C-alpha cells in the first residue's frame, strides 16, 4: 500500500491545487483505490516568506511546524511543502515531526538534465535570499544566473496569487525566461510554484525544469517505496 502524503499548502492556494492535480494525473491508477491518499493543509495565513527572509516580517516557522504536526496526526507518512521558499524552514519541520519531509529543492536539482552547465533560476525573493537553490546547484556543478528584473518577476508571482494567469502575464514570464537564455542559460529552473502557472516548455527553446513536476515524481516514488 502506498504511503499517505501530507501537503503543507496555501503558499499560494493555486500552486497547491496545481500540485494536487499533477499528483493525481501522474499516478498510475485504473480506479479510485489506486490513487494516493492526500492530507492537505491549504493555509494561506502562513506569514509571508519573502518578508520574513528580508527581516521585516514574522517568521512562518511556528505556523509551518503546526501544519506539519497536524498532518502527521491525521496519518501522513510523508510530508511535502507546496512552496519552494518555505523550505527555508524545512529544518524546523524535520525536527518537530517523525515522518520524512520530501524536499522539493533536492528533487528539482536532481531533475536538471545531465551536462547542463549554466541554469537560469526563476525564484522568489525569499528563495534567493535564503540561498535555497544557489548552493546545491553550484555543488552539482551548475553555474547560476538570476533574472535582471527580479521586481518584475515578483509582480508576476503576486499576480498569480491574485488570479492573474492571462496571456499578458504569460508573455511577460516567458520574456523574463528568454532573457536568461539570451545570457547563456542552457535550462530554466522554475524554482517557484507560481511559475508553471504562467510558463510551459512550449514557451522555451531550452529545457524547463519545473519544481512542481520534480516534486510530484519524487513523491510518487517515495510513496510506493
In what helix (H) or strand (E) does residue 84 lie, and over which residues does it extend? none
* Buried-exposed string 96-125: b where 16+ CB fall within 10 A, e elsewhere: ebebebbbbbebbbebbeeebeebbbbbbb
Cα of 42 vs its chain's centroid, Å: 15
Cell of 207: 529545457
Q: Report d(CA 119, CA 98) in Å as an integer.
A: 34
Cα of 63 vs its chain's centroid, Å: 18
Residue given cell 518578508 in the structure block: 51
Just list the catalytic residues: 83, 192
Count how many residues are written for the chain.
225
Q: Report d(CA 190, CA 128) in Å as an integer.
A: 12
Q: Decide if 152 contacts 173 (C-beta within 8 A).
A: no
Q: Report d(CA 31, CA 12) in Å as an integer.
A: 30
Amino acid at each position: 500500500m502506498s504511503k499517505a502524503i501530507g501537503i503543507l499548502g496555501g503558499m499560494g492556494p493555486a500552486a497547491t491545487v496545481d500540485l494536487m492535480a499533477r499528483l493525481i494525473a501522474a499516478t498510475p491508477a485504473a480506479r479510485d483505490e489506486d490513487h494516493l491518499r492526500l492530507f492537505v493543509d491549504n493555509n494561506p495565513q502562513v506569514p509571508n516568506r519573502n518578508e520574513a527572509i528580508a527581516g521585516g516580517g514574522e517568521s512562518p516557522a511556528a505556523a509551518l511546524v503546526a501544519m506539519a504536526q497536524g498532518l502527521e496526526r491525521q496519518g501522513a507518512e510523508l510530508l511535502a511543502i507546496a512552496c519552494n521558499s518555505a523550505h527555508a524552514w524545512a529544518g524546523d519541520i524535520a525536527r518537530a515531526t517523525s515522518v520524512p519531509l520530501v524536499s522539493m529543492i533536492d528533487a528539482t536539482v536532481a531533475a536538471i538534465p545531465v551536462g547542463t552547465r549554466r541554469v537560469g533560476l526563476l525564484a522568489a525573493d525569499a528563495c534567493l535570499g535564503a540561498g535555497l537553490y544557489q548552493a546545491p546547484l553550484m555543488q552539482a556543478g551548475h553555474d547560476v544566473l538570476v533574472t535582471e528584473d527580479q521586481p518584475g518577476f515578483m509582480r508576476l508571482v503576486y499576480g498569480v496569487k491574485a488570479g492573474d494567469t492571462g496571456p499578458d502575464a504569460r508573455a511577460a514570464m516567458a520574456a523574463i525566461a528568454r532573457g536568461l537564455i539570451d545570457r547563456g542559460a542552457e535550462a530554466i529552473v522554475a524554482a517557484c510554484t507560481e511559475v508553471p502557472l504562467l510558463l510551459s516548455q512550449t514557451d522555451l527553446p531550452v529545457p524547463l525544469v519545473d519544481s512542481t513536476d520534480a516534486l510530484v515524481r519524487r513523491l510518487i516514488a517515495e510513496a510506493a517505496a
